[in-house]
């Protein structure tokens, strides 16, 4: 075979193909390793997909979660807040709100919900990120107590009065 043989160019995927592949990998990594619970569900509340953090945050296995309706994760008495969040989501296609959710064990926890409405294969879906606010709320209470103690300490002359004020603040 002489010089007349054509050299075959190796296949080189387009930039778009690489970009699409990287976006899919990037999305999968974010979904898999996110620090917050991520749920994909229908407008009817049927949970279709969850990330690993969701199981830990709510105490249910993935299989259990995929058989549930999103409303099954609401703490009792939170229906009105959830309804307001849903109304905002439907009106604006996104919503951010706080509500209490329920762990499988029955323990309530404060959560920040960030939800986006989008269309997937002709069907409206909700992508929700749920952040457990327990630590943040505890830190805020502690900070408020410390500021209260510092404020009282700045003008109390009697130590007994100071200790009494501390007990009122801290409990």
**Phi then psi for 11, rounded to 5 degrees?**
-65, 130
Q: What is the pLDDT of residue 20?
A: 55
Q: What is the pLDDT of residue 25?
A: 65
112 bridge partner residues = 98, 131
Confidence of residue 139 (pLDDT cuts 50, 70, 90): low
For the stretch 10-44, pLDDT in tens is: 545 555 554 555 566 666 777 777 789 999 999 99
pLDDT at 134 over 90: no
DSSP helix/strand/coil, 28: helix
Per the model's pLDDT, the better-predicted residue between 164 and 114 turns out to be 114
State the Cα–Cα distance between residues 144 and 34, nearest whole angstrom.
30
Per the model's pLDDT, the better-predicted residue between 47 and 170 turns out to be 47
User: Token pair for residue 127?
Assistant: 């992508």
State the Cα–Cα distance between residues 69 and 8, nearest whole angstrom.
55
**Phi then psi for 13, rounded to 5 degrees?**
-60, 150
For the stretch 61-112, pLDDT in tens is: 999 999 999 999 999 999 999 999 999 999 999 999 999 999 999 999 999 9
131 bridge partner residues = 112
- List, in order, residues 6 or more apart from 67 with CB less than 8 Å away: 47
pLDDT at 128 over 90: yes
């Amino acid at each position: 075979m002489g010089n007349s043989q054509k050299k075959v160019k190796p296949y080189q995927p387009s930039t778009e193909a690489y970009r699409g592949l990287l976006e899919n990998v990037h999305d999968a990594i974010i979904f898999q390793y996110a620090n917050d619970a991520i749920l994909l569900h229908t407008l009817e509340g049927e949970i279709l997909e969850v990330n690993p953090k969701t199981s830990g945050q709510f105490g249910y296995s993935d299989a259990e979660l995929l058989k549930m309706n999103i409303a099954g994760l609401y703490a009792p008495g939170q229906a009105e807040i959830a309804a307001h969040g849903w109304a905002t989501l439907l009106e604006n296609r996104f919503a951010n709100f706080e509500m209490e959710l329920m762990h499988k064990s029955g323990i309530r926890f404060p959560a920040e919900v960030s939800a986006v409405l989008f269309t997937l294969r002709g069907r409206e879906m909700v992508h929700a990120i749920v952040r457990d606010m327990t630590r943040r709320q505890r830190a805020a209470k502690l900070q408020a107590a410390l500021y209260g103690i510092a404020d009282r300490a700045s003008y109390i002359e009697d130590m007994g009065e100071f200790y009494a004020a501390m007990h009122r603040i801290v409990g």
